């Protein structure tokens, strides 16, 4: 699967960590689903820990390496492509958050680059739309 195809789908964090890209969630369908939901906000101080979640991956010497927003922002010159995407991110759109049994605030399903830009901009709040894991299953696509 090439990078462009990857960007059409959102992936659960635990699947990314297992390098399991057998299933994805079509981003356009997710956005249609949450479109009419009320946009909510979290205080950035409540969810700033999300910067440490390994949300992206790359291959290095036939091994998959995972990295976080924190690593990108700390080593901007090493992650030039992600920095370009962060700078271009449109933060007027909310992120999509999925419920997480280990984090009462949930986990970012779509919008890590937007979240990173909010961090860089010293934003005080993050706008989000929420989707439950049960509701998410209807968008699961076998890749």
Global pTM reads: 0.86
Residues with Cβ within 8 Å of 81's Cβ and at least 6 positions away in sequence, in order, are none
The predicted model gives 121-133 an average pLDDT of 96
Distance between CA atoms of residues 117 and 85, nearest Å: 9
Task: Tell me the per-residue pLDDT of 75-125, one tens digit each, with 9 for 90 and over.
Answer: 999 999 999 999 999 999 999 999 999 999 999 999 999 999 999 999 999
Q: Is 41 helix (H, G, I), strand (E, B) or coil?
A: strand
Task: Tell me the per-residue pLDDT of 111-120, one tens digit each, with 9 for 90 and over.
Answer: 999 999 999 9
Q: When comparing pLDDT for 14 and 5, which is higher?
A: 14
Domain ranges within the chain, ordered by starting residue: 3-142
Mean pLDDT of the chain: 89
């Amino acid at each position: 699967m090439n990078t462009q195809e990857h960007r059409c789908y959102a992936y659960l964090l635990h699947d990314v960590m297992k390098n399991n890209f057998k299933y994805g969630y079509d981003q356009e369908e997710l956005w249609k689903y949450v479109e009419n939901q009320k946009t909510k906000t979290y205080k950035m101080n409540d969810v700033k820990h999300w910067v440490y979640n390994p949300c992206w991956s790359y291959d290095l010497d036939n091994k998959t390496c995972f990295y976080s927003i924190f690593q990108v922002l700390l080593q901007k010159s090493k992650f030039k492509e992600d920095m370009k995407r962060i700078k271009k991110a449109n933060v007027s759109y909310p992120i999509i958050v999925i419920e997480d049994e280990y984090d009462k605030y949930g986990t970012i399903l779509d919008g890590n680059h937007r979240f990173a830009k909010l961090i860089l901009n010293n934003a005080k709040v993050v706008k989000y739309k929420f989707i439950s894991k049960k509701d998410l299953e209807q968008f699961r696509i076998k890749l």
